Amino acid sequence: MNTTTSSLAELRQRGLEALRDAGVPTPEADAELLLAHVLGIGRGRLQAMIVVGTGTGTGTGIDPDPGITPARRSAFDDAVARRARREPLQHITGTAPFRSLELAVGPGVFVPRPETETVAQLAIDALQAVPTPEPVAVDLGTGSGAIALALATEVPHAHVVALERSPEAHAWAARNIAATGAANIRLELGDLADPDALLELDGTVDVVVSNPPYIPDDAIPRDPEVRLFDPRAALYGGADGLDPIRAISARAAALLRPGAMLVLEHGELQGAAVRALLTADGWRAAATTRDLLGRDRATTALR
């Protein structure tokens, strides 16, 4: 057995056990992702190296030298200790995957979740269906820029405007936009509840999408990663969690042209309330879509 790759397997196992003991929900995946991050390689290559090192992958052509230096061992131990304290994995690695994107994230910005990819898909489908050469989309409360960048990169003939009120999150979004090099997206600093936000776009927008704060103020998120590390302003939405959605309903009604679509993310128990709210505000055809786990996740409505 190659001693270097043997050490690699031992490191992974040590990290896995520490994370499992700390109650991390996915200890094996997180241990491998942290080790791969420290080594500067992908998780798949790490797994292949470990297979080679155990003697079950001979002849695969995989380079077995992962460069396990004392400094990297120390960096891995530090990363595992941070994750064991339930710091988000994405804060430690500095990145979060979202659809085809790899986004920079960290303190001060909400970490994009896989379930929000369903919300982005609804907005992408609506934007692609617009029969004009340059459809316009607005992402209210863009955070890291995840949804806005998905729209801009997957519907390259569209023009996307992203609005964010938090200076810290705005800085992360600006960094991510610059990294993609997308020229069809504009980032603005402003509050989605401001009736004058993006006033110049009133009546011209084809799709408005938002993943707003929607946790009721007195609810306590179960996951320490959310409760302790996500910005409060990105989580809590008033007594019933729907205050930002009320503000979006009013602002989006002015932004959108007649017949255009609003796409809103919300909590799994809020679908009926969101549909009722939008219908009372004059929106048409309010409908709720489930995410890949079968939970109510997004509601769409027509202007």
Q: Please, what are the averages of pLDDT over each run of 10 residues along the chain (303 residues)?
A: 61 96 96 95 91 51 60 95 97 97 97 96 98 97 98 98 98 98 97 94 98 95 92 95 98 98 97 98 98 94 97
For residue 300 the two structure tokens come to: 């769409």
pLDDT of residue 67: 66
Q: List, for residues 158-171, the tens digit of each pLDDT value.
A: 999 999 999 999 99
Q: In 3D, which of 78, 41, 80, 81 has the Cα closest to residue 63?
A: 41
Please tell me the distance from the alpha carbon of residue 277 to that of residue 235, in angstroms, as a whole number: 20
Q: How many helices (H) and strands (E) does the chain have?
A: 11, 9
For residue 195 the two structure tokens come to: 């009736």
For residue 64, the SS3 value is: coil
Which residues have C-beta within 8 Å of that of residue 49, sequence separation ≥ 6? 5, 8, 62, 63, 64, 66
pLDDT of residue 60: 42
pLDDT of residue 262: 98
Please tell me the distance from the alpha carbon of residue 103 to that of residue 177, in angstroms, as a whole number: 9
Cβ atoms of 138 and 201 closer than 8 Å:
yes
Using alpha carbons, list the distances in angstroms from residue 24 to 4, 29, 61: 27, 10, 34
Which residues have C-beta within 8 Å of that of residue 35, sequence separation ≥ 6? 8, 11, 12, 15, 46, 76
pLDDT of residue 53: 61
Please tell me the distance from the alpha carbon of residue 241 to that of residue 214, in angstroms, as a whole number: 4
Type of residue at 176: N
Type of residue at 24: V
pLDDT of residue 45: 92
pLDDT of residue 66: 53
For residue 185, the SS3 value is: strand
pLDDT of residue 50: 87
Domain boundaries, the chain: 3-85, 96-302
Helices 146-154 + 167-180 axis angle, to 10? 20
Assigned fold of 96-302? Rossmann fold (3.40.50)
Q: Which residue has the tokens 């979006």?
A: 248
pLDDT of residue 40: 92
For residue 15 the two structure tokens come to: 């990290």
